[in-house]
């Protein structure tokens, strides 16, 4: 260890410091510092300013956390508005495929709140921001699941509708035919009494092509009383169609047919006053007015449309 000297003003000379005295001084300083630190802690005194430094650091971190939480809540709020807009669009889509809309009450069903005074070990205002964000996330999660289920319902309904639209008896069985006797009560031209006319009569020369009005399966081909020669088709979805007074059959029982396909030729068989086609539509076993199911517009009466539909 190198020698240490000090200058004595009384003797005006340098004198060597004893080693024992040096170590004693060091130990005294360490002990005194430890004692001061312990006493400060006991009395709550911060002689070195460390507590203030720590508080400044924590305060800065809390301010940063609060700013981030405010930003997060703002983004979640915007997301909630976007989900509301998406919900309105979803209801328009549901209406277009004939599904009931989901009310705002259904979309906003309570999911259980989060207490605003939950102790997260941080200042209360920051804790409230966390609670708000947690609640919004839970609501968005539920709305997203609801939206996903709704889209699945729409897709299933859309596919079902596509099948339904192909099977609905939606075109005239004789292109451009003139209706000589409509659906409803009438005075029967042969029996001379009032009877329910469960279909429509369409004027047509013998041998006119008769088109099936919707996709389906042929369930009957043959003679049926006053109807004469008949073809009956099960169109599915509760629909059945009947074509009577035919002169020639072009299909067999069990055969699948597509809308627009020629299934027979018109005639004058059965109880008839002249060549025509009797066309009937049943829905769930009850005869209904066939004209209620026709597509509207002259374009649907074109020969091209019948050819296109027969190929689909």
| pLDDT at residue 219 in the model | 98
Residue 225 lies in a domain: yes
Is residue 229 domain-shared with residue 196, that is, in the same domain?
A: yes
Is residue 186 domain-shared with residue 285, that is, in the same domain?
A: yes
| pLDDT at residue 247 in the model | 97
Dist. CA 200–CA 169, nearest whole Å: 14
- More reliable by pLDDT, 178 or 136: 178
Per-residue pLDDT, averaged over 50-56, amounts to 57
Q: Which of 132, 167, 202 is the last residue of a domain?
A: 167
| pLDDT at residue 263 in the model | 97
Longest dimension (CA), the chain: 159
Is residue 33 domain-shared with residue 126, that is, in the same domain?
A: no
- Residue 238 token pair: 């509760």
Q: Which residues contact 252 (CB under 8 A, 6 or more apart)?
A: 218, 221
Is residue 28 domain-shared with residue 99, that is, in the same domain?
A: no
Residue 10 lies in a domain: yes
Please determine, for residue 281, whether its predicted confidence score (pLDDT) is greater than 70: yes
- Residue 15 token pair: 């004198």
Q: How many domains does the chain have?
A: 3
Please determine, for residue 156, whether its predicted confidence score (pLDDT) is greater than 60: yes
CA angle (188, 193, 194) in 5-degree steps:
80
Per-residue pLDDT, averaged over 177-183, amounts to 89
For residue 309, give the nearest of 263, 244, 265 by alpha carbon: 263
Is residue 183 domain-shared with residue 150, that is, in the same domain?
A: no
Per-residue pLDDT, averaged over 262-266, amounts to 97
Per-residue pLDDT, averaged over 182-206, amounts to 81
Q: What percent of the chain stands above pLDDT 70?
A: 64
Residue 172 lies in a domain: no
Is residue 23 domain-shared with residue 130, that is, in the same domain?
A: no
Q: Which residues contact 220 (CB under 8 A, 6 or more apart)?
A: 230, 231, 232, 253
| pLDDT at residue 17 in the model | 52
Is residue 221 domain-shared with residue 200, that is, in the same domain?
A: yes
Angle of the 124-167 helix axis to the 50-96 helix axis, nearest 10: 20
Task: Give pairs for 153-157: CB < 8 Å, separation 24+.
Answer: 153/94, 153/99, 154/90, 154/93, 154/94, 154/97, 154/99, 157/97, 157/98, 157/99
Q: Phi/psi at 132 (nearest 5 deg)?
A: -65, -45
Please determine, for residue 81, whether its predicted confidence score (pLDDT) is greater than 60: yes
Is residue 223 domain-shared with residue 158, that is, in the same domain?
A: no
Q: Which of 116, 136, 167 is the last residue of a domain?
A: 167
| pLDDT at residue 199 in the model | 93
| pLDDT at residue 126 in the model | 65
Is residue 222 domain-shared with residue 101, that is, in the same domain?
A: no
Is residue 207 domain-shared with residue 304, that is, in the same domain?
A: yes
Q: Kindly report which listed range (23-27, 212-216, 234-238) carries the lowest average pLDDT score.
A: 23-27
| pLDDT at residue 21 in the model | 54
Per-residue pLDDT, averaged over 112-137, amounts to 63
| pLDDT at residue 11 in the model | 64
Most confident of 104-118, 133-147, 196-210: 196-210
Is residue 223 domain-shared with residue 256, that is, in the same domain?
A: yes
Q: How confident is the model at residue 220 (pLDDT cuts 50, 70, 90)?
A: very high
Q: How confident is the model at residue 114 (pLDDT cuts 50, 70, 90)?
A: very low
Query: How confident is the prediction for the chain on average, in pLDDT?
Result: 76
Contact 290, 281 (CB under 8 A): yes
Residue 152 is part of which domain span?
A: 68-167
pTM check: above 0.85: no
Is residue 264 domain-shared with residue 303, that is, in the same domain?
A: yes
Q: Which residues contact 262 (CB under 8 A, 6 or more apart)?
A: 209, 210, 211, 250, 310
């Amino acid at each position: 260890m190198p020698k240490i000297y000090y200058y004595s003003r009384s003797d005006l000379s340098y004198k060597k410091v004893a080693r024992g005295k040096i170590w004693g001084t060091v130990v005294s300083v360490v002990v005194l510092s430890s004692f001061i630190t312990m006493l400060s802690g006991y009395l709550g005194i911060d002689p070195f300013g460390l507590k203030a430094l720590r508080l400044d650091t924590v305060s800065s971190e809390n301010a940063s956390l609060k700013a981030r939480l405010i930003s997060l809540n703002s983004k979640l709020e915007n997301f909630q508005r976007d989900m509301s807009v998406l919900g309105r669009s979803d209801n328009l889509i549901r209406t277009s495929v004939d599904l009931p809309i989901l009310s705002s009450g259904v979309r906003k069903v309570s999911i259980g709140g989060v207490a605003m005074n939950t102790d997260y070990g941080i200042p209360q205002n920051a804790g409230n921001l966390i609670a708000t964000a947690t609640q919004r996330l839970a609501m968005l999660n539920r709305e997203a699941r609801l939206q996903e289920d709704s889209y699945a319902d729409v897709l299933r309904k859309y596919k079902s509708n596509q099948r339904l639209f192909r099977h609905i008896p939606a075109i005239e069985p004789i292109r451009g035919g003139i209706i000589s006797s409509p659906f409803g009560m009438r005075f029967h031209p042969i029996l001379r009494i009032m009877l329910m006319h469960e279909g429509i009569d369409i004027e047509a020369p013998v041998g006119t092509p008769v088109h099936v009005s919707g996709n389906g399966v042929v369930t009957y081909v043959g003679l049926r009383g006053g109807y004469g020669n008949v073809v009956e088709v099960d169109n599915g979805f509760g629909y059945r169609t009947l074509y009577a007074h035919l002169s020639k059959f072009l299909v067999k029982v069990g055969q699948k047919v597509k809308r627009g396909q020629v299934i027979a030729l018109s005639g004058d068989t059965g109880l008839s006053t002249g060549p025509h086609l009797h066309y009937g539509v049943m829905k769930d076993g009850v005869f209904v007015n066939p004209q209620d199911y026709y597509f509207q517009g002259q374009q649907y009466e074109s020969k091209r449309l019948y050819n296109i539909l027969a190929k689909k």
